[in-house]
Amino acid sequence: MNIYLKRGKDESLKRFHPWIYSGAIQRIEDQAGEGALARVFTSDGDYIATGHWQIGTIAVRVLTFDDEPIDDVFWCHRLQVALDMRRAIGVADRTDNNTYRLVHGEGDNLPGLVIDVYGQTAVMQAHSVGMHCSRQQIAEAMRVVMGDRINNIYYKSETTLPFKAGLGQENTFLLGDAVDNIAVENGLRFHIDWLRGQKTGFFVDQRDNRSLLEHYAPGRDVLNMFCYTGGFSVYAMRGGARCVHSVDSSGKAVDLASANVSMNFPDDDRHQAIAEDAFRYLQQMEEGQYDLIILDPPAFAKHKDALRNALKGYTRLNAATFAKIRPGGVLFTFSCSQAVSKDQFRMAVFTAAAMSGRKVSILHQLHQPADHPINIYHPEGEYLKGLVLYVE
Ligand code: SAH
């Protein structure tokens, strides 16, 4: 199918922004079903891009600005570029780290596709109908490019595809059938449950921030709030924390955190996992009980309209923490909401600090790691932000 844009609506594409909004489209020729490849032309009829077509605000996600076929050669090339980048970053092909994001959507010029690697297994998520339709081709290209690095590909898109497209998609293996695996991140081991876990089974995006936390851990009493798999807890244990408490409202998460801590530190009674709501726990805990606290909540704003409430949520959460953290304490506080900008998050935390009246200094400004790259033409890809704060 061919798509012709309205006059003047090709400006962002000339700057390589990878999305075409439905409002920019003048007319469609030979319309095909959702997920089909569309060749896109300016109002003057000049070719400008090829991408996946989908019904919705974002009508086309651009795969290439070159006039090239989207075939096996294309998929292999894009995946090879992605793998080469991970090797350059130093996360792939290491013995003490086999956990990394291989494909990060727009950041790897593959809008709508996420692939995380855990040891011998790749977990693939499609966020667009086009990537869903291309899944077998992508799996085949993965086999070629990754070779014997992987022997399982689990396709997990039940909750990430647009419901309205009616694809009735079930999670399934495209290669192999391993149901459990132990991934290694910076020498620490984690059970990854891609069948039942959140997202692709683990939050790979906190790797560097967990390493930084390890550095602050010696001798501290640590609270890992919203612990999920206990990633930060395991690093805090290795860093020499005096005690580590992992809290999550989900019983399953708390069990997983306990299992991961005991796998790395068997019979170590410094760790305790508690199933409790974050706000209730913060309210009930003793003042000064902890001097290293991590707040890594789920995205409070999934869309722009939820922004105001999300900012209030961040302020409330951080204010409750500032009220209780021990003097001389260090707070790692995060937001993974794409709709919340770095400045807005900082303002929400600033408001919380001011409410507590305590002296607070910013030690580090954190973001997503290099294997979650941001396409320079698509600044929307920056989603994870964090602050490390010293509280007097
Ligand atoms: N820090 C984790 C990722 C956190 S994901 C890591 O490094 O991997 C967010 C977690 O917050 C989920 O496990 C979810 O169960 C938990 N959660 C959501 N709402 C909560 C609440 N009100 N209180 C406590 N935990 C909550």
pTM score, whole prediction: 0.94
Q: What pLDDT band is residue 364 in, cutting at 50, 70 and 90?
A: very high
Whole-number percent of the chain with pLDDT over 70 = 100
In 3D space, the residue among 208, 209, 210, 233 whose CA is nearest the CA of residue 222 turns out to be: 233
Tell the residue nearest (CA) to atom 19 of ligand 1. 249
Q: Please say if the pLDDT value at position 163 is more than 80.
A: no
Q: Please say if the pLDDT value at position 168 is more than 80.
A: no
278 ligand 1 Cβ < 6 A: yes
What residues have CB less than 8 Å from 146, skipping those under 6 apart?
A: 79, 83, 117, 122
Q: Please say if the pLDDT value at position 223 is more than 80.
A: yes
Q: How many alpha carbons fall within 13 Å on the CB side of residue 151?
A: 6
In 3D space, the residue among 106, 13, 105 whose CA is nearest the CA of residue 66 turns out to be: 13
197 ligand 1 Cβ < 6 A: no
Would you state the pLDDT for residue 200? 79
Would you state the pLDDT for residue 196? 79
Would you state the pLDDT for residue 64? 98
Residue of 203, 226, 300, 333 to mutate, ligand 1, most atoms within 8 A of C-beta: 226
Would you state the pLDDT for residue 304? 74
What residues have CB less than 8 Å from 374, skipping those under 6 apart?
A: 107, 368, 381, 382
The string over 76-112, giving b where at least 16 C-beta atoms fall within 10 Å of a residue's C-beta and e elsewhere, is bebbeebbebbeeeebbeeeebbbbbbbbbbbbbbbb
For the question of residue 336 being annotated catalytic, the response is yes
Q: What is the C-alpha to C-alpha distance for residues 387 and 392, in angstroms, rounded to an integer?
A: 16
Q: What pLDDT band is residue 164 in, cutting at 50, 70 and 90?
A: confident
Q: Please say if the pLDDT value at position 22 is more than 80.
A: yes
Cβ–Cβ < 8 Å for 266, 294: no
CA 279–ligand 1 middle distance (angstroms): 12
Q: Please say if the pLDDT value at position 158 is more than 90.
A: no
316 ligand 1 Cβ < 6 A: no
Give the mean pLDDT of 326-351. 96
Q: What is the C-alpha to C-alpha distance for residues 359 and 350, in angstroms, rounded to an integer?
A: 11
* DSSP secondary structure string for all residues of 68-102: ---SHHHHHHHHHHHHHHHHHHT-SS-SS--EEEE
At position 199, the amino acid (one-letter code) is K
Q: What pLDDT band is residue 195 in, cutting at 50, 70 and 90?
A: confident
Q: How far is CA 49 from CA 86, 232, 234, 331, 370, in A?
A: 27, 42, 46, 45, 27
Q: What pLDDT band is residue 201 in, cutting at 50, 70 and 90?
A: confident
Q: What is the C-alpha to C-alpha distance for residues 211 and 59, in angstroms, rounded to an integer?
A: 39
Q: Please say if the pLDDT value at position 166 is more than 90.
A: no
Would you state the pLDDT for residue 285? 97
In 3D space, the residue among 173, 186, 286, 275 whose CA is nearest the CA of residue 225 turns out to be: 275
Tell the residue nearest (CA) to atom 20 of ligand 1. 249
Average pLDDT score, the chain: 95
Q: For residue 26, give the H/E element and its range.
A: strand 25-29
Would you state the pLDDT for residue 374? 97
Would you state the pLDDT for residue 71? 97
Would you state the pLDDT for residue 190? 95
250 ligand 1 Cβ < 6 A: yes
Would you state the pLDDT for residue 167? 80
Tell the residue nearest (CA) to atom 8 of ligand 1. 203
pLDDT one-digit tens code per residue, 298-326: 998 777 778 999 999 999 999 999 999 99
Least confident stretch, 45-54, 178-187, 258-267, 273-282: 178-187
Q: Please say if the pLDDT value at position 350 is more than 90.
A: yes
Would you state the pLDDT for residue 162? 81
